[in-house]
Structure 1
Amino acid sequence: MTKTPIRRSRFLAVVVAAALLSACSGGGDGTDADDAALPVPTPAEETPEPEETLSEEDIRALEDLHDRYWTEIIAIENGAPLDGGSLLEFASPDLVEEELSAIASYHREGFFREGEPAITDVTVLSAGEDSARVESCVNEDDWPIMADGVEAPIEKRGATPRAFLAERTPDGWILVNPLPQEEAEISC
């Protein structure tokens, strides 16, 4: 009778040992059972890639682009010839065509601007490698639209955000296209 309990104990020890060895070796199929049990990081746990940063030189160049753009647009809207030549030095052909087309339609209807808008809070943000966003607050309340010497009754909205996408080219930075106001990261 003493042989039966020892045999059972040995049998159980062998089964437990085999189970442990099987679990540790992944069942012998070449996969590691522990790897399957490791948690997979969720997007919130993943380490974000470092954001591209702009050099001080890039920021100054982009701020200059923004200033040059507004200088040209103000002059054209105030009645300067609709010549996109100088705009093409720092803006994409598509952006220049879009801007001049809109201004030309206003001029054909007899609408011109007087004065200039108040532009503040110029902000340059990296948008990835070789691209950036240039944003500012533009207040057109004191830049009226005039028709035959009379100010058009346009709602005064105060400062609103304006944003442009810029790209680095072999010749330097250019403004590529305007972004919708609601996509601006600054608030005015």
Structure 2
Amino acid sequence: MIPVSWTVMIPVKPPLVGKSRLGPATPERAALAAAIALDTIGAVARARGVGRVMVVTADASFAQRLPGGVEVVAEPRPAGIDAALSRAAARAGDATPRAALPADLAALQPEELAAALEDAVAWSRAVVPDAEGRGTTLLTAGAGVPWRSAYGPESFSRHVTLGCHALTIAEGSGLRCDLDTPAQLVAARGGLDARTLLAS
């Protein structure tokens, strides 16, 4: 099989306003939001099959903290996940397979993402639900397939309606464990990466 090189797009809110459900707007919460995002991006960058990582953010100071090789797509201001992904997808073009992930998967293991992307190759569009089965953690479009996304409430069912095939991913996978609440952070603690553990 010819290796597939994926472009992975990750929208990141400015840490000062991101992860609002984790607690009050404090420097500590901002540091935690940044740590979660950086751990997520690091795991993506190490995943087999990922050839390009694009981070969409309006926060120039956060962009300066990204690891080498990660491409920054600057937003003039935060405009929502769909707008951020459209901006990145326009730069990536349709010639490559593209995937989108939220920046709050700090328990993600590179091999989990690699396996999901290998499965996604068989489908023009694919989607992975979050642990509750209502949101979306991974969204893909194959080479030559126009990018479409519909984030927001019940985004998993929205993406299925758009023609995405639901990939079968184990419930305990870090790919399904987005960190929106303190309870989710505690539940995922055993699999969290170093920065998030230190900041939480």
After TM superposition, the score normalised by the length of structure 2 is: 0.24
After TM superposition, the score normalised by the length of structure 1 is: 0.25
Task: Say which structure, 1 or 2, has more relative contact order (CA 8 Å, 6+ apart).
Answer: 2
More strand by share: 1
Larger radius of gyration: 1
